[in-house]
Each structure stands twice: as C-alpha cells, then as structure tokens.
Structure 1
C-alpha cells in the first residue's frame, strides 16, 4: 500500500514538472528512477534497458529515413512534391494546408517514419503556409498531424515490428494500411478546409492543368523514390532497413548529380541536422522502453488481461481496446505501446471475433493518433523543434485534426473491409 502511495506521488510530481515545461525525456526518466527506487528495482537495469531498447535492427531504419527526408529536402525533391500537391489544390480555400497533408502522405510512402515526415514536410511547408496567410501555430499543427500517417502508409517500421511479434504477414499488413492511411489524409484535409474557411486563412488561386502537369514532371524524382521503396520491399529484394539505406544513396546521388542542389560541402550540415533529430527521438524511444518494462513489473499487463477477459461482447471489447490504446499512446511512443500491449490485446480481440489483420490496423492507427495527443505527442515536439513554437501553443490547434482522426479511427474499427478489402483482393 505504501508503495502505491509513493508511486502516485511520484506520478503527480513528474506531471507537475511536465506542466512547468520540463522536457518529456527528463519527466519519464525521473518517473522511471523514482519508481525503481520505490519497488527496489536495481538502477543498473535502467542503463542496460536503455541500451537494449535501441539495439533493435529495425530501428536502424529510423536515422536512415530521417536522413532520406533531409536529403530529399536539400535536393529540392520534397519541394517539388509539395509544389505539385499545392497546384492540384490551390483553387480551394485552405488548399496549401491540404497540400501539406497530401505531401505528408506522399512522403510517408518514402520515409516510413512519422517524425521524419513531420520534420521534412513541416520545415518546407510551415513557412510557406505562414506566408500564405495561415496562423503559424495552425501551420505547425498541420505538419505534426500529417506526420501521423508516416507509420500507416507503407512502408512502415512499426508494421514490421507488429507483424514479427504477432506472426502475421508483413506484406498483408502493408496492404491493409493503404486505404486507412489514405482515409486519414482525406479526413485531415476536410478538417483543414473547414478551419481555413472559418478563419479566412489561405489565398485561393485558379487551377491550371498545364501548370499542374509541368510540376508533376518536375516531381518525377520523388515519384521514382517512392517506386524504388515500394518495389524493393514488396518484391522482397530488400528489407525496410535496406530500403532506407538505398533511398539515402538514391536521393544523395539525385541531389548531387541531377538536381545539383546538394554540394559536397553541404553534406556534413545535412547529416548533422539528421543526427540532431535522431538524437532527440532515440532517447525518448529508449526511456519509453524502460517505462514499459516497469509497467510490466508493476503488473499493468496482467491487470489489463484480467479486465478484458470478462468482456464477451464484440463491440465492447473493441471499444475497450481502443480506449486502452489511446490512453497508452498519450504517454508512450508507438514502439513500446506495441511491445507491451499488442501481445495482450490482440489475442483477446481475436477471441472476440476480430480479424487479426483488421485489429493490427486498428491498433496502429490508434498508436499513430497518440503522436498528436498530449502529454507525449511526439510529432508535436518535432514540429515545435523545427518551428521554434512552444509545445503548449500547438496543442489547441491540433484539436480539429484529432477529431478528424478519431472519426476516421472509428470508421476503420466499425468497417473491417476498409482494412481487409485490398488484402482479400
């Protein structure tokens, strides 16, 4: 009983630190150390688990995909994709915001990373949206929200982790994520349109087919990069981690020799920026794994299993699982959420009659929504770091996108064919 009181006090204390602006890595770290001392868990475990939490082969793709994003940005490829996307939507109120979301969807098909998508597209489009008459906070929130599809639209690192853990076909999982990922982009576009129309944000320009066709031709390197990634992974020629390395080489050569917007002198600066983003994300992932381990020691997994085992209604089981995933996504990164909850929730959902592939999409879309859900909201931290706007100032402006994503998540949950149609086809 005394331990539970101390743990509650520690949790309240670190929550207060978070509200005062202490970095989330330190907040989680203080909780981990405090709880370890309370339950007499050796502190040496913290160091060991921090190392082991990052020694997963699939995570090698993370810094490579982030570097891919920075190379695509520096080579002008991402700008060409964004220009093409805007040319197709410039005639609509909120068109630039919607094109930012569309560019996030295109880039997600290259990067496989939510943070990489947010960082790359946000650094390009957020300043352009501000020039176009949008509120700077809404523009940053748009990039953060668009980044959520980074782990849903294939290729996706987290789908690989989920498939490996649950013994499911990676190809089937990738295919199952296509329609839901597209739906998420469209739902957020609708939310952007409504907010922009209400506030009078953005300038409207007439649609010109010739301009759009010209910009599509200029964006061929971006489409080629997407093609390389998709062909390589789906044909089995290389793994997602190898795909990340190949796209780094492809985009580097494209920037040096084709667009010639990258010079050898610029490469160290580009790699340093990528290292800074990866250096911000890696500690968060590592400390989240330690937190997940402590939650397991405290019996959180067993408690969830016992709670759900008594529910025998299909929709009630799904609803409870969704609530648990959402709450976990609010305080943990998607990787530890998947590691701790997927082995618990997936068998229970399957026993209730939920298709395993369908549930994987439900699970990971919920985890993706966690990227823009305080207090963790990893994409909001990334958007804050690239724009200089404080995390707290972004939260209000992400609410319309959160509502759109929740509506989309509910539809994916209630209509299994949205996830299974292409798989069955």
Structure 2
C-alpha cells in the first residue's frame, strides 16, 4: 500500500527543489553554454573521421592540406569551447542567479569571471593552465558564482557602498558606477582568499576542490548503482508530473559533463573510444536510455501502434500518431500527457523500470567493450540511431545497442499497453 501522505510530501519537496533559485541558475547556466559544448564536441569528432572500408578521410585531408594542418580548425573550436568551460560557466550561472534577484546581471557576471581568473594558477611561463579553465574547474565555477552573487547582493543593500549618478547619465554608466565599490571589495576578498589558500596549502583552490569533491563524485557517478539511481529518480519524478530532467540537472550535470569532456579530449589525442575511462556520461543517458525522451517514449509509441493497429480511431493510436514527429527528436510531452503516463498506474512499471533496465544493459555493453564508450556530445534532440553512431565515434555498434534497447523497451511496454487498452474500453462502455 502506498503511503500517500509520504508521496505528497515527496512531490512537494521535489517541486521546491526544482524551483530553488540556485539550482535553477546552475541549470540555466549549463543550458546557456550548451551550443558551445556541442560545437566543441562535434569539432573534435570531425577531427577524428571514422574509416569507411578502404576510404580513409584522414589520409585524404592530410594529403590535401598537409599532415594535421586541417585539424587546426577543430582544435581552435575546442579551445574556445570545452577548454574554457569553467570560465563560461563562471559568467552564465551568476548571470541567471543575479537575474533572479533583479540585480545587474552583466556586472555580477563580469565580477565572477574576473574572480575566477584570479584563482587560476599561473604556469611557469606566466600563462593560464587550460587544465583548470575547462571541465576540471566546474565546481569552482559553481561555488564561486553563487558566493560572488550573494556577496554582491549583500553589498548592494548598503547605500554607502553604492555610487549614485545624477539623472540623465546613461543607464549603462550608472550601473557601472553603482557596482564599482562592491566589485572592488569582492575582488580584494578573492585576492586575500587566494593568498591564504596558497600560503597554507601550497596549492590552488582548483586542485583542492578537484581532489576533495569533484574527483570522488565523478568516480561515484561512473558506477552502475549511481547510474541506476539517476535513471530511477528522473522517471519517478516525471511520473508525478514533475520535470525530472530539469529538477536533477543542477546536481547531475556538474557530475556527468566532466567525464564526457575527458573522454572527448582523450579521443581527440588518439585514444580509442573503447579505451577512454568513463562509461556513464550525459550522452550515455541521452543516447542509450532516453530514446524518444524520458521513459524511452518512442518505444511506447511503437508498442501502441502494434497493439491497436486494427483500430484506426483508437485514442491511444491518435495520440501516438501525433506524438511521432516530436518523439523522433526525443520530445515526449505529447505522449506523456496525451496517453497519459503521468499519474497513470497502468504505466508506472514500464515507464520507470524500462529506463533502469536500459541503464543496466548499456552499462554492461560499454563496460565489457562490446560497444565503444561515448566520445561526443550531441544535442539531446538528435534522433536515435544517428546519435548512437556519432556518440560512439562512428561505430555501428552504437546503433545496434540502441536497437536492442529499443526492442527491450517495446516488449516491456506491450502487455501494459494491452492492459491500458482494455481498461479504456471498459471505461468507455461504462460511460456509454
């Protein structure tokens, strides 16, 4: 028997978590830089063309442009995207957090970027190390963004620290002067903090956070139990009408973006997609588990078409036909709210158990070397089969794994679709 009081409380807490301003800002910050992440990933993928039989695109391009010269474009795109991921987030996250507080978003974002750069260790030749400007600096970017925004908010409440310009001064100039003293105080505090950390630990805050927090979380996230937990929670929330992907994004993406960045980087350096270290990444879920959207919804559409193929005007069939175009691009709201799946006990088991099973099959397929690991970051709207091929570095085995997973999910949905059809028929007969 389900404890409905507990369930109601859980949904209430999950709803609050999904609306929590700091987590929303983190989620929006990642979403804002997503086009750059995808561009960087595809650039590296293009730099590592797969071999098709006797046709080797790399040899052809080397012959035309000179050995490796054609890869300069892809490497440059990488340097402007993945290599500075931490810097990008140190602007986008405080921008959205400041916006939620109705502060000057641009000023807060710029102060945060300046603070982030102040904390980056300087190399022996006087430059910045790319090791800490990219994915390894994600947690510093997140923590720093929140702290800087909150400090700015507190300082702006003190009228003695805000320089007011007379009327008639352009708005941009007035905002810059208003932020001057708070910015100066924040940067001095960051400088003092950097000095303190360096003096006491003889290292940087980046290395400390990476060793103490980020590395253990990435190691834990790369395990099967953690992957199962993510798949379960995402769909458990979706079943109750809560956007599980968005609610969990602020927590999940800092853990699962660095692994794909590491895989892509190693793949770009010449390592095989079979040998890269991380199994569970964000594309792992998007490509092999969430086909058609949450709940592997495209499998539900196929199951409905199989079960009610003789009934042209059946409500399930009509909804599924309308959901097909969106489902191909992993958009599943039409099917989730049209069947519906939300709060429908008939579909509770396949909707939640299916993704968990696919997580297990995908994990073992990649862990045992039957399928290459993920080495590209794709838009989540990339259709199945195309995504499976690209994300595994151009391997047909990625497509085969998607086909197997899709077949498993369809078989799991079939008996429950049959039960749903019978239940709907009884309901319509009773209402007639």
Q: Name the TM-score class by shorter chain.
A: under 0.3
Greater share of helix: 1
Q: TM-score, normalising length from structure 1?
A: 0.26
Instruction: Identify the structure with bigger relative contact order (alpha carbons < 8 Å, sequence gap 6+).
Output: 1
After TM superposition, the score normalised by the length of structure 2 is 0.26
- Rg larger for: 2
